[in-house]
Structure 1
Amino acid sequence: MRRTTRYAVLPALTAASLLAVTACSSGGSSAAGKATDAEPVAATAAPTDPGLAVAAAPAGAGAPSAVARADKGTGVKAAKSSLKVASFDQKSGKAVIAAAPAAGKKKPDKGVAPKPSQSAREGVAVGDVIASAPAPGAPHGVLAKVTKVVGATDKGTEVNTAPATLDALLGDSEAKGKVPVDPSAVKVVPLMKGVQVSWTKPDGIHAGPKGAKVPLGNLRLDVGASIPTPEGSPVSAEASASGFVQLAPEVDFSYNGKGTGSSGGPGTASLALNGNWSSAWELKGEAKATTADKPLRLPFAKLHADPVLQVGPVPVVINLDLTCYLQVDAEGKLSVDVKQEMKGDFTVGGSYSWGKGWTGISKANSEVSPVRATASASGKVKASLGTEASVGLYGAVGVSADLAPYLRAEGEASATASSDGKASASGKWAAYGGVDLTGALSAHLKIFGTPLFERRIPLDLYHHEWKLAGGEGSVSTPKNGVAPKKKAAAS
């Protein structure tokens, strides 16, 4: 009589692996002509056009705004303005624009439509394009063209507007720059108990648990909680997770309105989110069934920010949303204890060039430190600590991405025994580290003034996996009870 059982394979793995993915970069240079002794410098020196500066909008100065006049010629079409969006209705496009009346002039009576000359004195006219930082009724900023001046109110001039594009403001100018996101301006909504937020500013102001060391410009989320199985989940498990995710996001913006001929719109443009990230986390638990096609996904925090880039005179509002999550995908009966420390950088976004259209940008570099993975019995588990991101302009999402560093482990074990006393057992195991980066571009990127594309454009899938450690072995027991022979191999 023969019987078959399973025994536990309990390897403890420690390994290190390094992943390096080269990133592409581009740049250009120009030079001014030289002056001679016979010619005055002022007459011959041709200063190069440095383009518009790209920087974070100054804090404490109120919501900046810019206006492009309907009759403005080539070049930078917009100028810094004292106009303020007093209110904005996103559904109807109605807005109230506040501006100080000309000196010595009386405001029109409430409800009386201003004459064209009067509305011009108040700073707004049909055909004007207005760009504004977040304002009442417009938490993601305003980019709109005035289609009708309705009349004066006690808060300013009421106007009807329609959506506008950035080329109406930036014209044939050129701008390029990267701006870090201020971690103190990021709103964090915890979705699980045990989530703590930390950041430190250059002036020494610190938020978060006492003693938490966070580099300047970084936002850190610590999570430590028991994770119960959601009702109706295909997996029966109880697990605990602890660790942190640390991010230093920055926005990469570029625009070049030259080189399009009579086609209109920019020659090139791009919008991307990039930055450094690091994580260290530990997962312990037991999966007793398969998650099949429904991995156990547990978002633990949502983050939102509306950083304002000052592109020359124009305030460009970037909308950034992040969701941090833990995801477990399991098959078979597997008790797992994994620990992972990773760091790296990433870039996700879209790039436009006249004649070629929009293409996706997806790059990543990552490095994994020594990890621990212990698995028992037969089964598989994959645990990811990821971030979903979306980046847009003035409330319209243009780029979505999912960055998911992960650790997976698998084990197989079997044992046989017979009535004559002979027995044997064998097993093998392996652990892998990896990174997945997916995403897509949406038609909302037309806000640059580029032609509309008809469908979402997927980013190039970035996937890389490397083996951390593994091994296999067997044990046999003869009938006479002599000490068992062992065979083992490891990699």
Structure 2
Amino acid sequence: MARPSGSTSGGDLPKAVKSGLKVASFDQRSGRAVLSGATAPAPKGKASDAPSGKPSDKSSGKAKGIAPQAPSGANPTTPSSAEPSAAPKNGVAVGDVIASAPAPGAPHGVLAKVTQVLGTTDKGTEVNTAPATLDALLGASEAKGDVPVDPSTVKVEPLVPNVKVSWTKPGGVHVGPQGAKVPLGNLRLDVGASIPTPKGSPVTAEASASGFVQLAPEVEFAYSGKGVGSSGGPGTASLALSGNWSSQWELRGQAAATTADKPLRLPFAKLHADPVVQVGPVPVVINLDLTCYLQVDADGKIGVEVKQDMKGDFKVGGAYTWGKGWSGVSKADMTASPVRATATASGRVKATLGAEASVGLYGAVGVSANLAPYLRAEAEGSATAASDGSASATGKWAAYGGVDLTGALSAHLKIFGTPVFERSLPFDILHREWKLAGGEGTVSRAAGAGSKKR
């Protein structure tokens, strides 16, 4: 656990120090905590509290480039809002800000300010707390790093039968079904599921989907408390999710006569992780949630067969600059090959294999996003198209690959100590689409050959 050092005197914010205290238990509804451990925080300026400044191996799951620093010539203090109080023998005082990795009762970590010291129990010192902000703890420190999410720490909750999880340990040890080749640092989900038709639909046929999603997520965190002046709060801050994405999947059958304005969505797995960025003695707990899903949007009595191989990378998050406020960050670079789309009747179909994501700090969601790589086909008649150039059609037809990235920043980003906006702030929608093949009339074309009209 970490806490700010010094006593209340106003002026510069504190430099955090290590503390032997630990969060033994925490009640999220009441804010009551029990702290156990040493009777006092470590002395100021202790050499063991200073970060080494050496980046760790990326595969270890620890942050790189973390370098918190106190302002030169500053006297570390507790936040100016803290109530002066003589520290009791157990070393806990009103106004102390505590930061803890996940603990009993606080699975997403704890960031709180002590508002009342209640006394000592057989488990430790019992205190009342209120929510705190990072600037009260980090003060004028600086930190910047990214943490690859260790696949072995990700909790996967299958939402449909036949979801299989794979990842590879260092040394080549494979976890999951045989035959699934997974690079180190990647998590793979194989799924095979049926997609029922909407209730009340005159069509009773079902579609089936099979394939896999593979991703290597990283969380990014940055904070700088320098150069803000007497107003307090960070000068810059950011929180983001990035990583590599690949998927191979196939959709067959008749998913619906029509989905109208309500696309058919099939969530097939939920993922959760709580990676920690260590800022000197301060454990900054980042909460990551992902829901992987398949979605089908169709119009008309259309039977489909689509195959997709999608690869690329993405980044979603928020960045803050003092004087300008928060802005969204959304990037995605995807390619699809080879792809085959077949429509056996007039109509259109759009099939998406995507992920809804949320990223937060200490249980407070700050960024939400929806990464949606897709394949769509439309036809008047019947058509088949593939990215290798082969095609046949009667009537008009076209096949497209694409990716959509949407999301928003939440007011919970106030946890940085930044000004709060009134409601969620959507960031710019990223939409990219490319045509795979298309035409009209009666066309038959082999891969790499010209068109033949009959």
The TM tier, using the shorter chain, reads: 0.7 to 0.9
Deviation by residue 1:384-415 (Cα, 9 ceiling, x = unmatched): 0010000000000000000000000111039x
Q: How does 1:472-487 map to 2 (within 5 A)?
A: 472-474=440-442
Distance of aligned partners of 1:206 and 1:124 in 2 relative to their CA distance in 1, 3 Å threshold: farther
Whether 1:99 aligns to 2:64 is no
Q: Give deviations 1:250-301, integer Å, cap 9, x for gaps.
A: 0111001011111110000000000001000000012452101111100000
Give the aligned partner of residue 389 of structure 1: 357
Do the aligned partners of 1:235 and 1:290 also contact (CA within 8 Å) in 2?
Answer: no
**Contact between 2:366 and 2:412, CA under 8 Å: does it hold in 1?**
yes
Offset at 1:100?
Answer: 3.4
C-alpha separation between the residues in 2 aligned to 1:369 and 1:487?
24
Matched, 1:189 2:157: yes
The equivalent residue for 2:232 is: 264
How far is 1:426 from its partner?
Answer: 5.5
Provide the C-alpha distance between the structure 1 equivalents of 2:201 and 2:130, rounded to a whole number of angstroms.
Answer: 46
Matched, 1:293 2:293: no
Instruction: Give the corresponding residue for 2:376.
Output: 408
Q: Flag the 1:438–1:205 CA change in 2: closer, same or farther, 3 A.
A: same
Q: Does the C-alpha gap of structure 1 residues 445 and 101 become closer, same or farther in structure 2, counting only changes over 3 Å?
A: closer
Q: Is residue 66 of structure 1 aligned with residue 31 of structure 2?
A: no
Greater relative CO, 1 or 2 (CA 8 Å, sep 6+): 1
Q: TM-score, normalised by structure 2?
A: 0.82
Match runs of 1:46-445 below 5 Å: 65-69=1-5, 71=7, 74=12, 77-101=15-39, 120-229=88-197, 231=199, 236-287=204-255, 289-413=257-381, 427-445=395-413
Is the 2:411–2:422 Cα contact (8 Å) retained in structure 1?
Answer: yes
Does the CA-based 8 Å contact 1:70-1:126 persist in structure 2? no
Q: How many residues align?
A: 391
- What is the distance in 1 between the residues matched to 2:201 and 2:113? 49
- Determine whether 1:488 maps to 2:453: yes
Tell me the alpha carbon deviations over residues 356-391 of structure 1, each in whole angstroms, 9 at most, x when there is no partner.
000000011111111111111201000000100000
Determine the C-alpha separation between the residues in 1 that align with 2:323 and 2:174: 48
Q: Distance in 2 between matches of 1:282 and 1:314?
A: 46
- After TM superposition, the structure 1 stretch with the greater mean CA deviation from structure 2, 330-339 or 201-210, is 201-210
**Separation of aligned partners in 1, 2:5 and 2:452:** 82
Instruction: Note closer, same or farther for the CA distance 1:223–1:96 as it changes in structure 2 (3 Å cut).
Output: same
- Match of 1:167, SS state, is helix
- Match of residue 436 from structure 2: 468
Determine the C-alpha separation between the residues in 1 that align with 2:442 and 2:170.
Answer: 58
Q: Counterpart of 2:7 in structure 1: which amino acid?
A: D
Alpha-carbon deviations, 1:429-456, whole Å to 9, x = none?
1100000000000000010110111111
Q: What SS does the aligned partner of 2:136 have? A: helix
> Partner of 1:319: helix, strand, or coil?
strand
What is the deviation of 1:205? Answer: 3.6
Does the aligned pair in 1 maintain the 2:197–2:256 contact within 8 Å?
Answer: no
Inter-partner Cα distance in structure 2 for 1:474 and 1:346: 39
Larger Rg belongs to: 1
From the superposition, tell whether residues 169 and 203 of structure 1 become closer, same or farther in structure 2 (CA, over 3 Å).
farther
User: Matched residue of 2:231: which SS?
Assistant: coil
CA gap 1:154/1:426 in 2 versus in 1, 3 angstroms? closer
Shift of 1:81: 1.5
Q: Return the letter of the residue paired with 2:37.
A: A
Instruction: Map Cα deviations across residues 114-147 of structure 1 (whole Å, 9 max, x no partner).
Output: xx76x53322111110000011110110000001
Shift of 1:428: 1.5
Q: Structure 2, unaligned stretches of length 5 or more?
A: 41-84, 383-392, 444-450
Assess if the C-alpha contact under 8 Å between 1:129 and 1:144 holds in 2. Answer: yes
CA distance in 2, matches of 1:233, 1:268: 53
Cα distance in 2 for partners of 1:158, 1:235 equals: 62
* Counterpart AA for 2:437: A
Query: Match of 1:444, SS?
Result: helix
Change (3 A) 1:228 1:287: closer
Distance 1:300 1:142 in 2: 30
Q: Using the TM superposition, give the Cα deviation of residue 99 of structure 1 relative to its aligned residue in structure 2, in angstroms.
A: 1.8
TM-score, normalised relative to structure 1: 0.76
Rate the CA distance shift 1:232–1:200 in 2: closer, same or farther, 3 A: farther
* 2:385 corresponds to: none
1:459 to partner: Cα distance:
1.3
Separation in structure 1 between the aligned mates of residue 135 and residue 167 of structure 2, nearest angstrom: 36
- Given that 1:233 and 1:296 are in contact with CA atoms closer than 8 Å, whether structure 2 keeps it comes out as no
- Asked if the contact 1:234–1:292 (Cα under 8 Å) also holds between the matched residues in 2, the reply is no
Give the counterpart letter for 2:32 in structure 1.
K
The more displaced of 436-445 and 68-77 is 68-77
What amino acid does structure 2 have at the position aligned with 1:187?
A: K
Residues 262 and 234 (structure 1), Cα distance of their counterparts in 2 relative to 1, 3 Å cut: farther
1:487 CA displacement: 7.8
- Secondary structure of the equivalent of 2:254? strand
Question: Which deviations, in whole Å up to 9, do the C-alpha atoms of 1:445-485 show, x marking residues without a partner?
Answer: 0101101111110011000111001122159xxxxxxxxxx
Work out the percentage of aligned pairs sharing the same amino acid: 79
Kindly indicate whether the alpha-carbon contact (under 8 Å) linking 1:396 and 1:444 is maintained by their aligned counterparts in 2. Answer: yes
SS in 2 for 1:291: coil
